[in-house]
Chains A and B, each alone.
Chain A
Amino acid sequence: TQLLEQSPQFLSIQEGENLTVYCNSSSVFSSLQWYRQEPGEGPVLLVTVVTGGEVKKLKRLTFQFGDARKDSSLHITAAQPGDTGLYLCADLFGNEKLTFGTGTRLTIIP
């Protein structure tokens, strides 16, 4: 059974600061996805990465996929209160079901 560990579990920083959260898998990812989930809502897809070493940018968010396709990082530049939420990494196993990580709960303090 694949295990996805995310760190840190909780992160609280001031508005305007930079941060990085991590996702590590016990096995090679099929297809790595990052989601953000706000309280009382379902997860919303941010990005999908497939190729080892791939880097994708989404405005102030930078996603990096490890060369060995077993780890990933999400870097946020100049964090804003709207970035607050639960960040989840997931493996889209066999292009079908998702296996989610444990999540990083991010709070941006105005």
Chain B
Amino acid sequence: DTGVSQDPRHKITKRGQNVTFRCDPISEHNRLYWYRQTLGQGPEFLTYFQNEAQLEKSRLLSDRFSAERPKGSFSTLEIQRTEQGDSAMYLCASSPWSGIQETQYFGPGTRLLVL
């Protein structure tokens, strides 16, 4: 299977701890997106990269959140000093940006529970 993969699939942590999630996009997809989905809601945009450059960050992405894509391939999303309100599904998507309409392919997500 060569789809978008995310690791871990589930994470339980205590409030105040740091967590890091990884996303491996589809090979050769130059755009990578992070979204957050809370229970009963649609996903909300967090940030996206084109190759290794982070092009936009949502105001939802507080200074406790940081995302990287150091070599333009996989990406990590770190949450520092987690809060109960961070509990959500964190979705990654990738796309083969070509300057026109694109399809984003989503991974299975990482479900975070902060106790």
A residues neighboring B (CB under 8 Å): 4, 31, 40-45, 48, 50, 88, 90, 92, 95-103
Contacts and interface: CB of A to CB of B under 8 A. Distances in A.
A98 B35 CA distance: 9
Contact of B106 (A42, A95, A99): A42
Contacts of B40: 103
B43 interface: yes
Contact of A102 (B33, B42, B56, B93): B42
Contacts of A44: 106
Nearest to A103: B42
Contacts of B107: 42
B108 A88 contact: no
Interface string B79-115: 0000000000001010000001111111111000000
Contacts of B106: 41-44
A43 B109 CA distance: 10
A72 to B, nearest CB: 14
